Amino acid sequence: MGLVVAKFGGSSVADAASIRRVAKRVVDTKKAGNDVVVVVSAMGDTTDELLDLAHQVSANPPGREMDMLLTSGERISMALLAMAINDLGMEARSYTGSQAGLITDSSHGKARIVDVTPDRIQQAISENAIPIIAGFQGVARETKDITTLGRGGSDLTAVAIACALQADVCEIYTDVDGIFSADPRIAPKARQVPRITYDEMMELAAAGAKVLHLRCVEYAKRFNLPIHVRSSFSEKEGTFVIADLADQSQLVKLSKQGAVMEQPIIAGVAHDLGDAKITVVGVPDRPGMAAAIFQAIADSGVNMDMIVQNVSASGATATDLSFTVPRADAAKAELQLRKIQADLQFKDVETDENIAKVSLVGAGMRSHPGVSATFFKAIAAAGVNVEMISTSEIRISVVIRAEDAKTCVEAVHSAFGLDADGEAVVYGGTGR
Amino acid sequence: MGLVVAKFGGSSVADAASIRRVAKRVVDTKKAGNDVVVVVSAMGDTTDELLDLAHQVSANPPGREMDMLLTSGERISMALLAMAINDLGMEARSYTGSQAGLITDSSHGKARIVDVTPDRIQQAISENAIPIIAGFQGVARETKDITTLGRGGSDLTAVAIACALQADVCEIYTDVDGIFSADPRIAPKARQVPRITYDEMMELAAAGAKVLHLRCVEYAKRFNLPIHVRSSFSEKEGTFVIADLADQSQLVKLSKQGAVMEQPIIAGVAHDLGDAKITVVGVPDRPGMAAAIFQAIADSGVNMDMIVQNVSASGATATDLSFTVPRADAAKAELQLRKIQADLQFKDVETDENIAKVSLVGAGMRSHPGVSATFFKAIAAAGVNVEMISTSEIRISVVIRAEDAKTCVEAVHSAFGLDADGEAVVYGGTGR
DSSP 8-class letter at B28: H
The arithmetic mean of pLDDT across residues A317-322, rounded, is: 86
Average pLDDT on B81-110 reads: 97
Evaluate the CA torsion angle A138, A141, A147, A152 in order and state its sign: negative
CB-CB contact of B109 with B67 (8 Å)? yes
Mean pLDDT of B179-199: 92
Q: What does the alpha-carbon distance between residue B79 and residue B67 come to, in Å, rounded to a whole number?
A: 19
Which of the pair, A287 or B140, is modelled with greater confidence?
B140
Asked if A69 and B83 come within 8 Å (Cβ–Cβ), the reply is yes
* Residue-wise pLDDT tens digits, A323-380: 999 999 999 999 999 999 999 999 999 999 999 999 999 988 888 888 999 999 999 9
Question: Cα(B279)–Cα(B353) distance, rounded to whole angstroms?
Answer: 11
pTM assigned to the model:
0.85
Q: What is the rounded average pLDDT of the residues A141-167?
A: 95
3-class DSSP string for chain A: CCEEEEEECHHHHCCHHHHHHHHHHHHHHHHCCCEEEEEECCCCCHHHHHHHHHHHHCCCCCHHHHHHHHCHHHHHHHHHHHHHHHHCCCCEEEECHHHHCEEECCCCCCCCEEEECCHHHHHHHHCCCEEEEECCEEEECCCCCEEECCCCHHHHHHHHHHHHCCCCEEEEEECCCCCECCCCCCCCCCCECCEEEHHHHHHHHHCCCCCCCHHHHHHHHHHCCCEEEEECCCCCCCEEEECCCCCCHHHCCCCCCCCCCCCCCCCEEEEECCEEEEEEEEEECCCCHHHHHHHHHHHCCCCCCCEEECCCCCCCCEEEEEEEEEHHHHHHHHHHHHHHHHHHCCCEEEEECCEEEEEEECHHHHCCCCHHHHHHHHHHHCCCCCCEEEEECCEEEEEEEHHHHHHHHHHHHHHCCCCCCCCCCCCCCCCC
What type of residue sits at position B46?
T
Judge: A68–B53 Cβ closer than 8 Å, yes or no: no
For A63, nearest residue in chain B (alpha carbons):
B83
- The answer to whether A377 and A360 are in contact (CB under 8 A) is no
Residue of A nearest to B132 (CA): A65
* DSSP 8-state symbol, B147: E
Which chain B residue has the Cα nearest residue A60? Answer: B87
Question: What is the residue-averaged pLDDT of chain B?
Answer: 91
Residue A67, judged by CB atoms within 10 A of its CB (0-12, 13-18, 19+), counts as buried
What's the alpha-carbon Rg for chain B, to the nearest Å?
24
- Judge whether B215 is closer than 8 Å to chain A, CB to CB: no
Please, are residues B239 and B194 in contact by the beta-carbon 8 Å criterion? yes
pLDDT number for residue B317: 80
Q: Which of A21, A65, A93 is best to mutate for the B interface (most B CBs within 10 A)?
A: A65
Q: Do B57 and A93 touch (CB under 8 A)?
A: no
Q: Write the pLDDT tens digit of every residue in B162-176.
A: 999 999 999 999 888
- Collapsing DSSP to helix, strand or coil, B153 comes out as helix
Please report the ipTM that was assigned to this predicted complex: 0.83
CB-closest option in B57, B76, B144 to A87: B57
Q: DSSP assignment, residue B192?
A: B
Question: What are the chain A neighbours of B23 within 8 Å (beta carbons)?
Answer: 57
pLDDT for res A261: 61
pLDDT of residue A258: 66
Q: What are the phi and psi torsion angles at B373 (to 5°)?
A: -60, -50
Name which of B349, B203, B221, B220 is nearest B272 in CA terms: B203
Q: Find residues 86-105 of chain B whose CB sits inside 8 Å of chain A.
A: 86-87, 92-94, 99
How, if at all, do strands A227-231 and A239-242 pair? antiparallel
Q: Which residues of A touch B65 (CB under 8 A)?
A: 79-80, 82-83, 86, 92-94
Residues of B in contact with A94 (CB under 8 A): 64-65, 68
Q: What is the pLDDT of residues A62-108, one digit of tens each?
A: 999 999 999 999 999 999 999 999 999 999 999 999 999 999 999 99
Hey, what domains does chain A have and what are their CATH numbers? 3-264 (3.40.1160.10)
Distance CA B83, CA A58 (A): 6
d(CA B344, CA B144): 46
Chain A contact for B64, CB < 8 A? yes
Whether chain B has a CB inside 8 Å of the CB on A62: the answer is yes
Query: In this predicted structure, what is the pLDDT of residue B426?
Result: 34
Question: What mean pLDDT, rounded, does chain A reach?
Answer: 91
CB contact under 8 Å between A69 and B79, yes or no, is yes
Average pLDDT of the residues in B227-252: 89
Do B83 and A71 count as a contact with CB atoms less than 8 A apart? no
The amino acid present at B236, given as its one-letter code, is K
> What is d(CA B14, CA A71) in angstroms, rounded to the nearest whole number?
20
Spatial distance between the Cα atoms of A62 and A66, rounded to a whole number of angstroms: 6
Distance CA A7, CA A170 (A): 8
Predicted confidence (pLDDT) at residue B359 exceeds the cutoff of 90:
yes
Report the residue of chain B nearest A83, measured CA to CA.
Answer: B61
Mean pLDDT, range B5-23, rounded to an integer? 95
Contact at CB, A62 and B120, closer than 8 angstroms: no
Give the span between the Cα atoms of B201 and B147, in whole angstroms.
27
Q: Does the pLDDT value for residue B328 go beyond 70?
A: yes
